[in-house]
Amino acid sequence: MLSQLIIKILDWLYPLFRRFLPRQTFYYAACGGGNTLLSILIFFVTYNFVLRKQLLHTPLVTLSPHIAAMVISFLLTFPLGFYMARYVVFSGSALRGRQQLMRYMLSTAGSVLLNYVNLKIMVDLLHFYPTIAQIINTAIVITFSYMAQKHFAFRKKKRAES
């Protein structure tokens, strides 16, 4: 299984980071970091080369290019992020898969909303370059996402008190 290969690679690299991070935090940083880099790459390519910095007209709504690039990037990286969180980072969670997915979707919705609001502020109000705004925003969203996933989406059930 792919998750076992990823875990073996991460376990091989972990001794370099043992002094600085607990194993689960390292797994999250590595998996989330890889998914985040992929997301930024997809955002950059979509914004600059697919959309060519033009509005995206859909039957329901017209999206600004930076918001459309964010949506496309999200649609491609969401399934990968769930897979990595469920099978690599938080594999010890006792919650059922459907429950994890629903909670992951909720925590991700919070991340997407935070990402959207921050992008609108940084790009439309503060006039940041969209890719730079997305990189800055990523640091904010990662912190929120880790806490939501660890304590909500993939939490371990509390042991019964004696």
Looking at residue 151, what is its pLDDT? 86
pLDDT in tens, 72-101: 998 999 999 999 999 999 888 888 889 999
Gap between the Cα atoms of 54 and 7, Å rounded: 41
Give me the chain's average pLDDT, please.
90
Looking at residue 162, what is its pLDDT? 41
pLDDT in tens, 56-69: 999 999 999 999 99
CB atoms within 10 A of CB 96: 9
Looking at residue 161, what is its pLDDT? 44
pLDDT classification of 157: cutoffs 50, 70, 90: low
Structure tokens at 24: 């689960």
* Model pTM score: 0.77
Gap between the Cα atoms of 2 and 123, Å rounded: 38
Q: What angle do CA 26, 35, 48 make, to 5 degrees?
A: 145
Burial of 17 (0-12, 13-18, 19+ CB in 10 A): middle
pLDDT classification of 117: cutoffs 50, 70, 90: very high
The closest of 60, 79, 75, 87 to 112, measured between CA atoms, is 75
DSSP 12: H
Gap between the Cα atoms of 129 and 109, Å rounded: 24
